[in-house]
Amino acid sequence: MSKPFVAVLMGSDSDLPTMQVTLEVLKGFGIRFEAKVTSAHRTPAATHAYVHDAEERGCKVFICAAGLAAHLAGAVAGITTRPVIGVPIDCGPLQGHDALLSTVMMPGGVPVATVAIGSAGAKNAGYLAAQILAVADDALAVAVKEERAKSAAVVEAKDAKLQEKLANL
């Protein structure tokens, strides 16, 4: 079997600007991914076929982004037992709140790990997929820990600058 990969599914091509950060996170960790536009409502048969095919080819995690009714993650979770991460897209009159509720309110036994609305959620989806894959990949686990340490160092450096400014007031 080939190296595991993550499938990043978007309900519309308009989701790509938000999901670009997901792809960057995955690429930064050296995680193979595929990105595809598919719809739970407009192309359900194609979505179903892709999920089955992706599983057979080594997909270990699905990240599904959608706005408005946002049924893509739930539809994918109904097809696969692989982890599904839902990213609610911040669009429409409710700015993603409808997508959040559509993504997170799954029936018992068909989970979708739902992240925040918009770009912060998209970034976290990439990190969560990396953490899921890191369960079976020690080198990836080390890389995730190192990235977390870099993030902490950035915050500590910002605090040091703040403390310096405060001391000079």
2 is in an annotated binding site: no
Residue 90 tokens read as 């911040």
32 is in an annotated binding site: no
Strand partners, 84: 62
Sequential DSSP letters for 44-74: HHHHHHHHHHHHHTTEEEEEEEE-TT--HHH
148 is in an annotated binding site: no
Q: Are 43 and 68 in contact (CB under 8 A)?
A: no
Binding residue numbers for substrate? 12, 15, 42
Binding residue numbers? 12, 15, 42
